[in-house]
Amino acid sequence: MYNFSFQNPTKLIFGEGQISKIASSIPKDKKVLVIYGGGSIKNNGVYDQVSAALAEHQWSEFGGIEPNPGFHTCLKALEQIKADGSEFLLAVGGGSVADATKFIAGAACFDGDPLTILTEGAKVRKALPLGVVLTLPATGSESNPNGVVTRYETQDKMPFYSRALYPQFAVLDPTVTYSLPEKQVANGIVDAFVHTIEQYLTFPVGADLQDRFAEGILRTLIDNGPKALSEPKNYNVRANVMWSATMALNGLIGLAVPQDWSTHFIGHELTALHGLDHGQTLAVVLPGMMEEKREQKREKLLQYAREVLAIEHGTENERIDRAIEETRAFFESLGVQTRLSDYGIGENDIPPMIEALKKHNMVALGEHQDVTPEVSAAVLKRCL
Amino acid sequence: MYNFSFQNPTKLIFGEGQISKIASSIPKDKKVLVIYGGGSIKNNGVYDQVSAALAEHQWSEFGGIEPNPGFHTCLKALEQIKADGSEFLLAVGGGSVADATKFIAGAACFDGDPLTILTEGAKVRKALPLGVVLTLPATGSESNPNGVVTRYETQDKMPFYSRALYPQFAVLDPTVTYSLPEKQVANGIVDAFVHTIEQYLTFPVGADLQDRFAEGILRTLIDNGPKALSEPKNYNVRANVMWSATMALNGLIGLAVPQDWSTHFIGHELTALHGLDHGQTLAVVLPGMMEEKREQKREKLLQYAREVLAIEHGTENERIDRAIEETRAFFESLGVQTRLSDYGIGENDIPPMIEALKKHNMVALGEHQDVTPEVSAAVLKRCL
């Protein structure tokens, strides 16, 4: 087990009908900017619940955050903050809205060009306070200090981080996910699953409890994922998915263990160059990564097979093969396809993706920093 | 799944050599009072590490907190705080020292008789800031807002709670537990195990991830507990035990699920009247409670048998019998005896314990509030 420090300040407010709690979670004297995406919250009742909760607050709104939030959209929100004098940001949406709101919160208090937060890793030392009303369980952004913003003109997906960007609170009401399109629910489940895998499927360091927690999230997603699609109004199923997605990336399961975010980083290029949904990219890349790194990850692959998938019989290689197959089958059972060819991407498309990885300095990924561009290319070939 | 809110502000600083971090965790301009127990920290190097870390702070010390911290001892510490002008309390010890320090921190800022915090549940609205250097993994007190203080003249163990009493930080260095007496290590493992059980072994509410997390803690304690005694300097083993004890009672696994603290409350009377260690009382009472409530807890007992103990075969009743037997055997494998008779307590001693429960208003315990004094008596008979 590695040494660590952990402190997650986000207050989690979980359950049906909890959106009303934002009234007491935001100081009454703060001007609020409500930030949201494409407007689905105006059809599913969430906007009305937020409006009702903010009845005694002074607030304005900014809509139009894209699924992969754009830097230029964030700049527009910054202008509105200045015009409105907003002092508290309320993200109402999924991970994209939360990510954008974090970036906006940091940029609003940043001296200098906010682009440098993304391009140079300029440090965000303070930020406007923010909260999240989550509508899509997936990224865990609602209770972590991370985000990703995209520059559309250069096709760059750029991560940022600052402790100042933890949301003060996150409201998780599983019933607001009932009306989500199946595809978004499925992508979210894949995202949470792969977040967990990236903090688990490396090499053993004797962190038993961390492993049990990660396995618990994976099992919960496998047990509940397909039901979330077939029984969309099953409260406990949606609640288990929502809670799992938050716990997958609130920092807890990554403590004390090595991490491997290579699947995410390779996936980012698939989104940037070919427009795949984030969850789709992960469902494609992960099985290929498992194959390519099966020797380095052998012990953990066998543990995953045994503890998560209850695969007990056969040789080691047979068990690993079956674990990879079952992982692929799980994604497919959610309707998320797992081959590049399913998305019309062929071998000739791999070199541009490798160039993009190089451009973004993603040349030494993985828990051993040995996922070089050559290895990434080999992974992508296995994904064809 | 029940609705919940969760926010745990304690910063956890985990790993070998981390005690030095208290230097940067306590403001340099605050006068510190270091609070500890019987003085073992002066023999095992912890006191020296704390002294070195506080080299640039102004600090004094208060020793002599008892294993079940006494109200009158806390009053003495309060006098010293006034005399020294202490502004930050640093608990260095196990759960007793942490509990006492919390009570002292609240009492120091309390208008009125601090005894009413215990006897009348008077609300603690503010407290001196405090931190913990943990030397014994067991109670979880290092990252929760609860405590228990004993009035020796009346033999009352009295719980208290306030959000103002969360430690600001807790340092968890597994190597400081190497020199603990076996008995303390074993009692701590039993305590953490039963904390987990009390938040798990009730009835199902569809909270899959909460169940997986609780099962993960139980399995980790079963896997590491005996090794913690046979290989006392195995870092990962001690680290897994320490982390499990913290996670068992930092609030996380109790979210969204029913809880049953009846074993703890009955155990408190065994300590008060017969002087058993807290861990010993739990090892005695839990198997009796499982037997007595096997019908109400049937589903969860079967789940516990399957998911924690891998008991797959036999009738339902056989599996439950075996689960109870294996629980008892686990405690015994740690050298903690599980029968009242092992401690010289017989059937005639039960009525006074029942009277004590009534006196403390512990007359409707358990997840269904139906553990009446009669049921508690039946439980204790099963423990003979």
Is the Cβ of B247 closer than 8 Å to some Cβ of chain A?
A: yes
Q: Which residue of B has its CA nearest to A21?
A: B5
According to the model, what pLDDT value does residue B236 have? 98
The answer to whether residues B168 and B129 touch, using CB atoms and an 8 Å cutoff, is yes
Residues 6+ apart with CB under 8 A from A130: A88, A89, A90, A91, A101, A102, A105, A165, A167, A168
Instruction: Delineate the domains of chain A, giving CATH numbers in brackets.
Output: 11-176 (3.40.50.1970), 182-382 (1.20.1090.10)
Looking at the complex, does the CB of residue B18 fall below 8 Å from at least one CB of chain A?
yes
Q: Do B247 and A209 touch (CB under 8 A)?
A: yes
Given the structure tokens 């408190």, which residue do they identify? B268
Q: Rg of chain B's alpha carbons, rounded to an integer? A: 20
Q: Is the pLDDT of residue B154 over 90?
A: no
Return d(Cα A165, Cα A107) in angstroms, integer: 11
Using 50, 70 and 90 to split pLDDT, how confident is the model at A39?
A: confident
CB environment B166-181: b (16+ within 10 A), e (fewer)? bbebbbbbbbbbeebe
Two tokens, residue A367: 């828990």
Cβ distance B7 to A9 less than 8 Å, yes or no, reads: yes
B17: amino acid identity, one letter: G
Q: Is A16 on the interface with B (CB under 8 A)?
A: yes
Tell me the nearest-neighbour CA distance from B227 into chain A, angstroms: 13
Q: Which of helix, strand or coil describes residue B331?
A: helix
Residue listed under structure tokens 């972590």: A144
User: Is some CB atom of chain A closer than 8 A to the CB atom of B340?
Assistant: no
List pLDDT tens digits, range A257-296: 999 999 999 999 999 999 999 999 999 999 999 999 999 9
Contact A33, A82 (CB under 8 A): no
Tell whether A14 is within 8 A of chain B (Cβ).
yes
What was the pLDDT predicted at B157?
Answer: 85
- Provide mean pLDDT across the span B79-105: 97
- Please report the pLDDT score of residue A194 as a whole number: 98
CB B209 within 8 A of CB A243: yes
Q: With an 8 Å Cβ cutoff, are B240 and A16 in contact? A: no
Shortest Cα distance, chain A CAs vs residue B342, angstroms: 32
Residue in B9, B18, B207 nearest the CB of A3: B18
Optimal mutation site among A19, A168, A193, A208, interface B, most CBs of chain B within 10 A: A208
Do A14 and B4 make contact, defined as CB atoms within 8 angstroms? yes
CA distance B384 to B380: 7
Helix (H) or strand (E) holding B61: strand B59-62
For residue A193, which of A201, A183, A204 has the smallest C-alpha distance? Answer: A201
Tens of pLDDT along A318-361? 999 999 999 999 999 999 999 999 999 999 999 999 999 999 99
- The DSSP string of B85-122 is T--EEEEEESHHHHHHHHHHHHHTT-SS-THHHHHS--
What is the per-residue pLDDT across B233-290, written as a single tens digit (0 to 9) for each? 999 999 999 999 999 999 999 999 999 999 999 999 999 999 999 999 999 999 999 9
- Is the pLDDT at A155 greater than 90, yes or no? no
Residue A154 has pLDDT above 90, yes or no: no
Checking if the pLDDT of B156 tops 90, the result is: no
Contacts of B297 (CB under 8 A, 6+ apart): B201, B202, B203, B290
Specify the residue for token string 């008995």: B183
pLDDT band at residue A160, thresholds of 50, 70 and 90? very high
Going by C-alpha positions, the residue among B301, B300, B271 that lies closest to residue B283 is B271
Residue B16: list chain A partners with CB under 8 A: 3
Asked if residue A157 has pLDDT above 90, the reply is no
Q: How confident is the model at residue B327 (pLDDT cuts 50, 70, 90)?
A: very high
- Residue B88 phi/psi, 5-degree rounding, is -145, 135
Can you tell me the mean pLDDT for B29-57? 96
